[in-house]
Structure 1
Amino acid sequence: MKKNILYIAIALILGLVGGYFFFGNDSDTANQKSPTHNHSSENTKQMWTCSMHPQIMQPEPSDCPICGMDLIPAETGAEGLAANEIKMTENAMALANIQTTIVGNGAASEDDGIISLSGKIATNEENNSVQASYFDGRIERLNVNYEGQKVNRGQLLATIYAPNLVAAQQELLTTASLKESQPALYKAVRNKLKLWKLSEKQIEAIETSGQVRENFPIYATVSGTVTMVMAAEGDYVKQGQPILKVSNLNSVWAEFNVYENQISQFKKGQKIKVSTNAYVNKEFDATISFIDPVLNNATRTVTLRATLSNKEDLFKPGMFVTGKIEGITQATSSGTVTIPASAVLWTGERSLVYIKTNPNEPVFEMREVTLENRLGENYQVSSGLNNGDEIVTNGTFTVDAAAQLQGKKSMMNKTGGKTMTGHEGHVGMQDGADNKVNETSSMEIKLPKEFQEKFQSVLNAYLKMKDAFVANDTKQISILAKTTSITLKSTDRTSLGKMEQSHINKSIEMLDDIASNDNLKMQREYLVVLNKNMVPIAMSLEDIAPMLYVQKCPMANKNKGAVWLSADRDIRNPYYGDKMLTCGSVIEEIK
């Protein structure tokens, strides 16, 4: 019995010792491996970004320091992507409202081939008439003395003191007593008074009363609306000198500007649908009645005119209108496809789109395309795309910004490679080789030295106008836009290439539209187009002072994004003013 107890005790001791060495070593090993596992977890820690400002990266969820939007999870890896492909999260896609369309998929849109034109209502000059003085004299009273006043045929317009008529009346009274003996002389005096537009009734009244009148009335010969007052009470006027300009507004002209590359799409007699913001749900039928045979050298456009019936007095001269017209069908190559204009990023010589390379995941890559005609809100593409390709049609600027930040090929970076880095809500240029992006983007436009020197004064005027946009000062915007336009028109553009002149001419057109408009919303819409043309010119300058920043708000232009120039690095958004003053980022430095 004692031996059995001893054997059991020895077995227990050996079991405990063996268990210690076996399990203790595993525990130590596990303890040693644990820190390695934790470290790996730290390496894959989730980062957070802003869907509208992807340069923002934060280690934890919070608000975007630029626009205040909630941050979303950022991609933690890019495994399996090609060199210039980028991948976006589903949340980023939704928040930035990125939409795609398959090229050639489905039936053609009802708007295919429809060309949109912008224009203004003008008075129908065929219905204009001038009310003039029929004799020399001084205007004693002007009964119609402001623009917009309605006049009717036979209405008293003015009363004039006419010394010549006083003498002619004396002749009439003298010859009236001699009309039996000298009827020819009597008839000649009466005819002279008729030439001065005195009626038979007036002449008879003078003859019957025997009294000489000093002041004579002028009556309207037509009915209409006064469009210009050309004299004032107390003025001395000559025979035939205009006093009032009157227009019959029962019909008006809708005048549109048509670019060179669109001229072949129009001819007299085509039907056009005219609409205006004043009557949102209405369209008015008109017919093209005139196409100007002379091209405007400044804007490179011709005037297209349609006559509109205006018996209900709906259209006011100066009113902005939009025309929609079906262009004349032209033969195109078999490889031509049509895409929405919103899908295209244009840098001057290059036209770019973003194609979805993976049908099941949000993976995109930039592709250059060759554009042909623009038909309404669509472009014809002759090369670069095929039927079945899926492209970004909304939010293209946002995708391009993500590509820039990841160092992929993009609108501003033809070759790829890191070009920008985020810092406190801004994007600035890196030092060294990365500064070559300036050189890359400026190769598209070539500007003579003399033009560059004079363009500096244009930029100075532009920057003041931009500050007026920030301040929401409509009146000052118009004044400074006119100043910028005049300065730009004074530059010598004869040595510029076709593309450079296109940028300048479009800039002048937009500046003139801004200057002539008193609606802040419309002025900002014109500013978007102005900046699309001004920024490439500014980026091509070789020497500029002070340094300029190209800044961009991804939410402007109906979430399509819009750029502007600023002399200050701090964001002051001209598209929203104090509503979203600091929304935006620096995407380029011009030194």
Structure 2
Amino acid sequence: MPNRLITEDPHDESSTNENNSGDTTSPSVTYRSEEGPGATTDWKIIESRKQVPGRLHGERSAYEVANDKETRFGSPRNRNIAIVTVVALVALVAIYALFLRGGNKESTAINVNAEAAKDAEPGDEHGAGEAEEVKLSPEAIAAAGIEIEGVTQRPAVALIKVTGSVETNQQQTQQASPLVSGRVERVNVGQGDVVRAGAVLAIISSPEVAEMHGKLREAETRLRLAERTLQRVQRAENRVAAIQAKAKLDEAEATLRRTRRLIDLGAGAGKDLIAAEAAYKTAKAEYDYQNNISVNREVQQAQAEVETARVDAGHLRQSLQTLGDPVATNTRDEHTTNISLVALRAPVSGTVVERLVNAGAGIQAGTALFTIANISTVWVIANVPESQVGKIRVGTPAEVRSAALGTGAMAGRVNYIDPRLNEETRTARVRIEMANPGERLKAGMFVEVGFAAGTGGSSDQELVVPSAAVQRIENRSVVFVPKDDEAGAFEVREVELSGEIEGYHRVISGLKLGDKVVTKGSFTLKTQKLKGEMGEHGH
């Protein structure tokens, strides 16, 4: 059946005559398509019955529009085109929906995350969604030795930041110089070698050393002769006077015994006894005198010669030791021994940072041939402006960072402040002595230095967290916070830090006073988290 246009029911009480209301009204119009018995499709074009007053001239009412539609849809050909167009559009929409169905899941997930991020509370420091966490069993916690400390406060300090450079510790740096002139026979070390105190750095041939060795041999020969003479004198050989005196003494002693025996028998006189005793005493004194003259004089002379030779030899040995221990190429045959050689030894343990000589070179006494530095400790020289140097004292904590190393702050303390200013830069040299484990800091390296100076306000406080609690994961600083509601679970909390002083990091955000963090064992938790992430990526 052909489409036909029907208007609103003329008996509808809601209709208002245009002439009665004084307003322009337009009825609702229904376009009905009847394709068969009982099949009716209605399209309604409804416009407000109340037209805006003062409608512009030429503006069309809904009724007029409906009449136009009747004109357009009245033709069977136009109606068929409209129906085909509608069906085609419906089909295209259905196909497009099926095509995008697979992508809707990903879009939905992205939208959900976007909505979650949008809905997160402003100022939420840990981000939207579920917080990261690491879980350990009680056995793993015990094995890791987990220790927990709280976030604390301390008086606020201001960080004076300046630039500086690394220098060798001059108190642990020495030059090796020979005390004699000569020629270098051999060099045993190179630049960068690590040596111990006393190690032979080079062998030097010196005429002066050869001459001293000759004098030493002469002194040793004199010593041996003097010792032999002393032994001979002490044996009392060829002491004629002493022997004669001894004979007289023996004779006087025999006469004295005989006289006493006669007196005991009553055959002798007392005067004979007195004479015999006097003769004995005289002989005894003569013997003692002769013995002392002959023996003591020779012994004393021999002893003096021995002592002189011994002292001369000792002085020469000491001089050779001062010049450097003599090095013999063949100690068994003194005729083939090169007595001109002397060893130049390392004065301290450390690293050879300079080698200024090669084998065959002629050298003068006192010329520095090697520089050895103990770089287990180094100096950092900071250039502090005169406006800031007054805030720094000997003992002030300092932290040193190196962009070249890319490591965290290294702690040290000020041990010297130069009282003089550089007139051109108006800066003072402030020296920090630092431990250098692994010899990471190299002489000449540029560094950034921060000095912890008090802010001056007694009430100023700042949050700090132990440095042992902070770990770096994916270029962010994190700590591990134990969860109160789940044993063995630790929240991975991202924190913003500002500097490290005396084993503590200054906290900018991410933690509050009283929060608990893992200190000892935090690296174990970091490792566990990274393992978990690797497992997720593997799936």
**Alignment TM-score > 0.5, same fold:** no
Q: Bin the TM-score by the shorter chain.
A: 0.3 to 0.5
Q: TM-score, normalised by structure 1?
A: 0.35
Larger Rg over CA atoms? 2
Higher relative contact order (CA 8 A, sep 6+): 2
Q: Hey, which of these two has a bigger chunk of helix by percent? A: 2
